[in-house]
Amino acid sequence: MRTLRCKCGEAIAWTTDSFPDCQGCEKCQTTYAGHPDGHKPLQPHTWKTRYNENTGKPYKICEKCYTIDEESYKQSKINE
């Protein structure tokens, strides 16, 4: 298990793998890295459309890190 940090040190993550470039610190806008020279600029999520199995409505999920867009997911759960 490795401990990774952002450049400012505020965000900490533990992993056995690595993280995609869309995960990191919102404050300093850098990715997680194990060494100060390994930080990259934080990239935006790459959204992909999925559909709620119960309602059939679309929501967004990042195809790199699988983070779900909370607002679109909340809207996809509403039955009308």
The answer, yes or no, to whether residue 61 has pLDDT greater than 70, is yes
Band of residue 1 on the pLDDT scale cut at 50, 70, 90: confident
Show the DSSP H helices in 1-80 as ranges: 70-76
The answer, yes or no, to whether residue 80 has pLDDT greater than 70, is no
**Per-residue tokens: 20:** 């995609």
Q: What is the pLDDT of residue 64?
A: 95
Q: What is the mean pLDDT of residues 5-17?
A: 92
Q: In terms of Cα–Cα distance, which of 69, 79, 70 is closest to 46?
A: 69
Asked if 24 and 11 touch (Cβ cutoff 8 Å), the reply is yes
Q: What is the mean pLDDT of residues 28-51?
A: 94
Q: Hey, which residues does 58 pair with through a beta bridge?
A: 51
Put simply, whether the predicted model's pTM sits higher than 0.95 gets the answer no
From residue 64, how far is each of 1, 18, 26 by CA, in Å?
A: 21, 12, 17
Going from N- to C-terminal start, the domains of the chain cover 2-38, 47-76
Residues 36, 21: Cα–Cα separation, whole Å: 16
Q: What is the mean pLDDT of residues 42-60?
A: 96
